[in-house]
Structure 1
Amino acid sequence: MVVEEAATDRSPSREGGPGSEPSICSPGVTGLATRRARWVLVVCGVLLVFTVAQVWADAGVLVRADHLLHEAPFRQRWPSLVGAARVTDLVGQRGPTAVLALVLAAVLGVRQRRWRPVVVTGAALLAINLVVGLAKLGFGRKDPAFDDPELFQGGLLFPSGHAANVVLTWGVVAYLLAVYGPLWHRRRALGAGVAALTLLMGVTAVYRDTHWMTDMLAGFLMGAIVLQAVVLLDAVRVELAVGHVLGRLRRRLSAGASG
């Protein structure tokens, strides 16, 4: 949804072709996409509050799901998948994914001769690490090996950093390719790719039993919130810049007509 809305907001310049500086299609389209983005933030925020409330109370359907998945013998039933799960776990690791996103942003920035892709990517990565890091320290949840899903026990599991990273970082990669790169017409495929990686990360964590299910859910939601906020701020900044240029053009035309 983030990628699709961003590409609806801005499409490649007809003169510059793929990879050229994106531009606002129209104020009406931009306003519609901005309203959708705000709704995504609201929905993800409500779901995150609901998740935190159930984990805090140590009761509810989500906590029951935590215990159910923790007790399921996935690794014992499919031991041959342990090696593959270690590999798929890399899709959510901060280091490799952050480097990939920053390299892509730098390449696009050099092609367009501006810092904007790098600034957007850097701000997103900094924000997610700050938000998730503070949340981990504050909630203090231990991993499933301790059989205790309660908060404030001195752990660093809630929310999952891998879950937040997979949504935020791969979402930024898709956003860059759709809005600042040549793949704006592939925005739905990019969004589907991010969703697939998110699902893969969730299945991997459940199989390896490295996180409670609610750790993953909270991480996914935090990643989506930060991603959507960064995209929304970027879209608003573009809209303001275009409005400024159009205002100057109108003033020049008015001055020419009066003269």
Structure 2
Amino acid sequence: MRTDRIFARLDREPEPPKIAIPRMSRHRVILFSATMAFYVAIVVAVLASSWLVELDWKVMLFRPYEQWPQMHAFLDYFVVLGQRGPTAVMVAAWLGWRSWRQHTLRPLLALGASLLLLNITVGAVKLGLGRLGPHYATQIGSAELFAGGDIFPSGHTANAVVTWGILAYLATTPRARRWLSVISAVVALGVGATTVYLGTHWVSDVLLGWAAGLLILLALPWCEPVIARAEALVFALRNKWRARGTAAAAPPVPAGTLPGVFAQRSASEDETPVREPVGAASGGRAAGARGPARPPGTGPRPDRPPEPPAAPRRPQHSERSPRPAPARPVGG
């Protein structure tokens, strides 16, 4: 089977070095707390229709896509780096190859956990606040909240932070982590700014999207125990399935034979010579003393009746009573 070839190839791969799993250090906890405070501040500023909402309207009325139309064609393609479907496929393909090379499912499971958290957290805030986008705004200066929209925070921006940032999170060397962090930050910043340029998001949407994605990346070490248990469960199921396939591919046992150890025991018992009882052996020796020996297993001769049992032996002379000596005549 093709799966057996894949598993055989996987078993021949060299074992990777021990990969250090990020932990929730004090530095990471401080960054998580600061990002959470920034997240709450953005939400409060939009709910209060503060200066941030005024900035949103000023940028929207400025219409950047009309100020620099020569960039429109390129940015239409660049913003795809923030769409969940294409980016998830590209990153999952790369992490799947890494999982195969490193004999671990952690990269794929970490990506799945991050995307699950992204959909839950960002989707809940989107539906809860219901903000309309710039192209669907109804009143100038309004925050456009609770109007049935799903634009706040920016899903493109948050997805770009998580999808490309997971590569830096899963890097195995400090140098690779630094380079991937820079690249993912540039992509995430560029996608967020592109949505503002195209007029699909407010500035506050992008700010909250950056914070939402960063919170997920910073919280991933808390998910590592669950990821480890899921990986162990998947490998246990794989080993069970492979063992079942090996047992099904084994040659069938012929009818009338016993499997395993019992077959070996029966074979050894068949080869062991059968011993006769002691009485039968003594009887054979006694018969041999009276006549020629016969081959074993031939049985008694049909033309001779069975011999009677031998008479008991006479007692020894020592057991007889002494005979009286004959009387002699007394000489004169």
Band of TM-score, shorter chain: 0.7 to 0.9
Structure 1 or 2, whichever has the larger Rg, is: 2
Residue 161 (structure 2) aligns with? 167
CA offsets, 1:24-55, max 9 Å, x none?
Answer: 7xxxxx77x71111111101100000000011
Matches within 5 A, 1:200-219: 200-219=190-209
State how far apart, in whole Å, the 1-side matches of 2:193 and 2:208 are.
Answer: 15
Residue 255 (structure 1) aligns with? none
Q: Which runs of 5+ in 1 are unaligned?
A: 1-15, 25-29, 239-259
Residue 29 (structure 2) aligns with? 38
CA offsets, 1:206-250, max 9 Å, x none?
Answer: 211110111111111011001110145439988xxxxxxxxxxxx
State how far apart, in whole Å, the 2-side matches of 1:163 and 1:118 are.
Answer: 21
Q: 1:187 to 1:229 in 2, by over 3 A?
A: same
Please state if 1:109 is matched with 2:103. no
Q: 2:220 aligns with which of 217, 230, 233?
A: 230
SS of the equivalent of 2:143 reads coil
Residue 103 of structure 1 and its aligned partner are, at CA, apart by 1.7
Please tell me the residue identity of whatever aligns with 1:134: A
Paired residues in the alignment total 211
Please tell me the residue identity of whatever aligns with 1:186: A
Residue 105 of structure 1 and its aligned partner are, at CA, apart by 2.1
Residue 18 (structure 2) aligns with? 21
SS of the equivalent of 2:20 reads strand
Residue 73 of structure 1 and its aligned partner are, at CA, apart by 3.2
Contact 1:55 1:150 survives alignment (8 Å) = no
Please tell me the residue identity of whatever aligns with 1:161: G
Q: 1:101 to 1:231 in 2, by over 3 A?
A: farther
State how far apart, in whole Å, the 1-side matches of 2:76 and 2:219 are.
Answer: 31
Q: 1:71 aligns with which of 56, 61, 66?
A: 61
Residue 90 of structure 1 and its aligned partner are, at CA, apart by 0.7
Q: Which runs of 5+ in 2 are unaligned?
A: 1-13, 229-332
Contact 1:21 1:112 survives alignment (8 Å) = no
Residue 82 of structure 1 and its aligned partner are, at CA, apart by 1.3
Residue 20 of structure 1 and its aligned partner are, at CA, apart by 2.9
Contact 2:47 2:143 survives alignment (8 Å) = no
Residue 65 of structure 1 and its aligned partner are, at CA, apart by 1.7
Residue 202 of structure 1 and its aligned partner are, at CA, apart by 2.1
Residue 76 (structure 2) aligns with? 86
Q: 1:48 to 1:161 in 2, by over 3 A?
A: same
CA offsets, 1:107-152, max 9 Å, x none?
Answer: 1111121222111111111110121111111110001123343311
> What is the aligned-residue RMSD (CA, Å)?
2.3
- The TM-score normalised by the length of structure 1 is 0.75
Contact 2:106 2:227 survives alignment (8 Å) = no
Higher relative contact order (CA 8 A, sep 6+): 1
SS of the equivalent of 1:117 reads helix
Residue 56 (structure 1) aligns with? 47
Contact 1:158 1:218 survives alignment (8 Å) = yes
Residue 88 (structure 2) aligns with? 98
